[in-house]
Structure 1
């Protein structure tokens, strides 16, 4: 059985990234309509009213790029936990598929085939979020090909 600490270690970065979005991103993002539909708008507005006073203190890379790396870190960590830090031909797709899609979407933004704004810092955060779980777990990862 997986320990609660393993899951907290994996899910916490996702929650931090979500909190960054709630606190500092524009309200036209779809997630804000979801909050409205589940009657959380008043809570979200209260949080934003407090944190937006500190918006100028938060670097742009934290607001716009760090959440990308955090969700990818969370995903890779959960995959490693699910497969007990074993990498084989069956789960390799899950470990590299999403990071490749993330990088390709950023490249697509650079050539205007995907809506959005290309940013090298996003790519750096994707790479960091992808590699860090492997670095943290390097002693317990086994390769079975």
Structure 2
């Protein structure tokens, strides 16, 4: 995978994760107050109105967990570009710091030390995003097409397991 392609994957992941968050997450989140202070409320409402058309077709894990994984993928891919796609102790350290911080924030939510709701699926999303971003960023330059094929296959497998997540959350009464 070329640097240009990797940059495109990173930016696309960032944009898709952001769109999902803006279009489908509850408006009482702090970011919506920030958007309001910037005078973006009307634009945000337009995005949410467009998104509401498709809400019934989007599983909850996409709305509540996928943005985290997409953002992590984006960060790891962009980090690989910053480090010239060379795995080093520094590159590994920056990746681990963000992944560990994300995981720590989930556990702080569990113990009510940070606002939000703990969700084990967020932990999975962070980990999968970090893994995929690292693979594409640091290994993609060496293996190119084989790595891209693995990535697409992996995503397809995740989507096939959507029924399992749906069953689990229904059994907990979240849907």
Q: TM-score, normalised by structure 2?
A: 0.71
Unaligned 5+ runs, structure 1: none
Q: 1:112 to 1:35 in 2, by over 3 A?
A: closer
Q: 1:4 to 1:85 in 2, by over 3 A?
A: closer
| Preserved contact between residue 69 and residue 125 of structure 2 (Cα < 8 Å) | yes
Cα distance per residue 1:42-80 (max 9 Å; x no partner): 121122123223322211111110000011111111100
Greater share of helix: 2
| Preserved contact between residue 21 and residue 63 of structure 2 (Cα < 8 Å) | yes
Unaligned 5+ runs, structure 2: 143-175
SS of the residue aligned with 2:141? coil
- Aligned counterparts of 2:112 and 2:37: Cα–Cα separation in 1: 32
SS of the residue aligned with 1:90? helix
- Aligned counterparts of 1:4 and 1:35: Cα–Cα separation in 2: 31
- Aligned counterparts of 1:47 and 1:139: Cα–Cα separation in 2: 34
The answer to which of 104-113 and 74-83 deviates more is 104-113
- Aligned counterparts of 1:28 and 1:121: Cα–Cα separation in 2: 22
- Aligned counterparts of 2:88 and 2:22: Cα–Cα separation in 1: 37
Aligned to 1:20: 20
Cα distance per residue 1:78-122 (max 9 Å; x no partner): 100111111222333211100011111112222333332111111
Q: 1:139 offset after TM fit, Å?
A: 5.2
1:30 aligns with 2:30: yes
Aligned to 2:153: none
Instruction: Kindly report structure 1 stretches of 4+ aligned residues shifted beyond 6 Å.
Output: none
Aligned to 1:84: 84
RMSD between aligned residues: 2.0
- Aligned counterparts of 1:24 and 1:139: Cα–Cα separation in 2: 32
